Amino acid sequence: MTLKTVSHLLAAILLAAAPFANAQEKAPKLDTSIDKVSFHIGMQIGNDLKRQGLEVAKPELIAAGIAASLAGQKSPVAQEEIRAAFEEIQKIVEAKQAEKAKVVLEAGEKFLAENKAKPGVKTTKSGLQYLVVKEGTGATPKASSTVTTHYRGTFIDGNKFDSSYEGDAPTAADQPATFPVSGVIKGWTEALQLMKVGAKYRLFIPSDLAYGPAGRPSIPPHSVLIFDLELLNVEE
């Protein structure tokens, strides 16, 4: 069983609850290779669960269950009880996720309604909003083009989720991204065909032109995304 499989199984029994007691009070001693690997496995499982936006109800019991399984012990809970518990928890998790998605959706709609009235912000027929920070003088991409860009992506609260820059300001260590114009989210595909090489735009992308109700591991469903996008090069 892979770590990903383990984390997916754990995700089915998750609830928002109190954090694991003493989890951050003292770093564990990792003297041996087994210590290090064991701790790393736990970190990977925890990170995967965090990416899914889920919290562990009682991590000490999850750890106890893993230990019991490795020791060859049988579960003290009947399969019928486990199945019923899974179904109950899954309903609670889905309800919590739906409520979070509703909050994100409403916040995004409010943001876009207010943002489109700001000076310099233009809105296309699709609903894409953009602000020209700097006009370019080079070629304009087509849907069939491949482009090289620098970008920084944030949520409407300002938190960054992705960037081609190493830090907050451009440096020689930055790694620009190259990709087909038609191979990205709809908001980018549309915006790139409005730009010329050398241009810098700030994009305000509605959820339906980004990742929609599905979201991504690091992007909640219905998220409005903001990108500072610089077009560096175009290849036909």
Positions marked catalytic: 151, 161-162, 185, 211, 227
Which among 185, 189, 167, 164 is positioned nearest to 175, based on CA atoms? 164
Which among 220, 226, 221 is positioned nearest to 191, based on CA atoms? 226
State how far the alpha carbon of 76 is from the alpha carbons of 36, 65, 90, 197, in Å.
Answer: 30, 10, 21, 65
Q: How far apart are CA 16 and CA 149, in angstroms?
A: 39
Which among 98, 111, 101, 99 is positioned nearest to 221, based on CA atoms? 101
Q: How far apart are CA 20 and CA 102, in angstroms?
A: 28
Q: How far apart are CA 199 and CA 131, in angstroms?
A: 11
**DSSP SS3 for 180:** strand
What are the DSSP E strand ranges found in 47-144?
Answer: 121-123, 129-134
Strand (E) or helix (H) holding 80: helix 79-115
Residue 53 gets the label, from left (phi > 0), alpha (psi -120 to 50) or beta, of left
Which among 138, 104, 121 is positioned nearest to 210, based on CA atoms? 104
